[in-house]
Structure 1
Amino acid sequence: MIKHIVMWKLKDFAEGADRATNARKMKEQLDACANIVPGMFAFEVALAQPGLEATYDVVLYAEFADEEALKAYGEHPTHHALKPYFGAIREARQCMDYTI
């Protein structure tokens, strides 16, 4: 099994909207990617919450059966279509995949 964790720090203002608005839109778009490929076992998107420690604005946690399932997710048209918008609103991105 592969765990896939991605975190995004968003710009204060981008694409005509503030950080909070873009974070909510990003979450909605990511949520639409849940279960788009076979072998995806978990898919959770969360936003930084007031009062809780967070250095990034949006986090994705997903589990995949194997590298082929993770690759299929990365190449899926629904996922691929998000990249231009995410690139325009992000200040930084961190990703880590690991096998358990």
Structure 2
Amino acid sequence: MIKHIVMWKLKEHAEGADRATNAARMKAMLDACAGIVPGILKLEAVVAQPGLEATYDVLLYSEFADQAALDAYQHHPQHVALKPFFGAVREARQCMDYEV
């Protein structure tokens, strides 16, 4: 199994919207990717909650059956279509994949 974790820190304003609006939009876009390829075991997108410690605004925690499933997700047109918006609204991005 491959775990794929990504975190985004967002710009205060981008694409005509504030940070909170863009974070909610990102979450909805990620949630829509939950079943786009076989082998996605778990896909959970969350937005930082007020009052709880967070240095990033949006987090994706996902699990894939194997590297082939992760590769299929990464190259799926629906996932690729997220990248322009995510790139426009993000200030920073961190990612880590690891096998368990």
- The question of a shared fold, defined as TM-score above 0.5 by the shorter chain, is answered with yes
Match of 1:97 in 2: 97
- For structure 2, the residue ranges without an aligned partner over 5 or more in a row are none
TM-score by length of 1: 0.99
Following the alignment from structure 1 to structure 2, what is the Cα–Cα distance between the partners of residues 6 and 69? 17
Match of 1:67 in 2: 67
TM-score by length of 2: 0.99
Give 3-state SS (helix, strand or coil) of 2:25's partner.
helix
RMSD value, Cα:
0.4
Following the alignment from structure 1 to structure 2, what is the Cα–Cα distance between the partners of residues 42 and 59? 13
Write the mapping of 1:11-22 to structure 2, written as runs, cut at 5 A.
11-22=11-22
Give 3-state SS (helix, strand or coil) of 1:38's partner.
coil
- For structure 1, the residue ranges without an aligned partner over 5 or more in a row are none
Q: CA deviation at 1:35?
A: 1.1
Q: CA deviation at 1:51?
A: 1.1
Following the alignment from structure 1 to structure 2, what is the Cα–Cα distance between the partners of residues 21 and 50? 14
Deviations 1:32-59 (A, max 9, x none): 0001111110000000001111000000
Following the alignment from structure 2 to structure 1, what is the Cα–Cα distance between the partners of residues 35 and 84? 22
Match of 1:83 in 2: 83
Give 3-state SS (helix, strand or coil) of 1:22's partner.
helix
The residue type paired with residue 35 of structure 2 is N
Q: Percent identity?
A: 73
Following the alignment from structure 2 to structure 1, what is the Cα–Cα distance between the partners of residues 97 and 35? 18
Following the alignment from structure 1 to structure 2, what is the Cα–Cα distance between the partners of residues 50 and 12? 15
After TM superposition, what 4+ stretches of structure 1 lie above 3 angstroms from structure 2? Answer: none
Match of 1:43 in 2: 43
